[in-house]
Structure 1
């Protein structure tokens, strides 16, 4: 009997439940402790049954269960070997995006079909697939002004810039409103895209103290004075990644500080 088998006997004796499961548990603990290493060949089943004093059926059942758990690999006539560790590469919790669940049923697909059909009746498909004017065409700006009107009131189309997405808009704003080394004030938890843009463009992010209602106006006023920051990044509705929404009173209090300190939001 070798040292490894002797160790198995001790682990099996300490285990609980059916003998075949205690053998599997002993195998697991031997792998975790490093007694058995990935790629190491295991004793033949008949030999192991004889050394452990159990019947061959028990060993076969234990090896089958060990294979199901990914502990060993069976290589036909070559025998069984300790399997390499299985690494779970899937990200279990992704806080980089804050997306609402899609509506169930065929509602979304039907809305998309109607929307695309409407667009194609007014535009040429080839034109839609080519490059467009930087910042948006006059038609784009007019459409954006109409879309924003219920929220912001009348917007002058010429003052609007259409971007390819939020990341492009963030980078453009940082380049337009700040210089390398400048401070940008933000919440404790922010959209990861801002972290990337600030790092690449060499802007410094400074966290403003917050409470259960969001960014604190007094903390914003204090940091604006002490850091000389000119820009504040704030995600007031469905904040990414917390999904928190600022109450109306807090929005008004922050707006007063922004105006008083001449800050860009």
Structure 2
């Protein structure tokens, strides 16, 4: 059955954006899986490109139907009869001339419009003719696999009527509230264990502690000073002794030189 559009459908397609127009065409052409099936997607896109071209060049509704129905008919023959590219183009040219001749004089296509349509069909369809024919005539190889999935489900709980009710025994009067005697006996013990109030704390004697700490620090400072002074005195004595030994050595080394000078004279 040939695919035909109604003028109202064409107006709806031309007024919509591209995704919406493609969806409308897919519904009209009975291609429900055009978003997932490659063959249906190519076919719907092929139809949409033809209508988009007619809109861009300013074809009227009658001229658009001529261009659209001609290429759709040739595509069906090319896939059904396995026409060659040359045969398909000749068939398209013949059908186009027949349909143009059937138009009213005021709707007839000009030579420029025919040339523009021929250039579009050649570039958009016949330049990829073998690919179109292959996609729509050759069965695609598919692979099906069957997998067994094991899903572990949680065990269902037992019905409530099979459960054992739990009965709580009422507490006795002795367990419910302590006796007055027990409360009185526990009160002195609690008072004795309680910490003393801040006002009752003994005097901590903080001034004496401060004086002891200050005295200890002072003694340690004095001891450190004495140790440093003794160390300084020791090093000073060692340095003086070293200087004296150097002076003595220098004096001894200068005596032979003076004697040699007196002999020369």
TM-score by length of 1: 0.14
- Return the structure number with greater strand share: 1
Structure with a larger share of its residues in helix? 2
TM-score (normalised: structure 2): 0.14
Structure index of larger Rg: 2
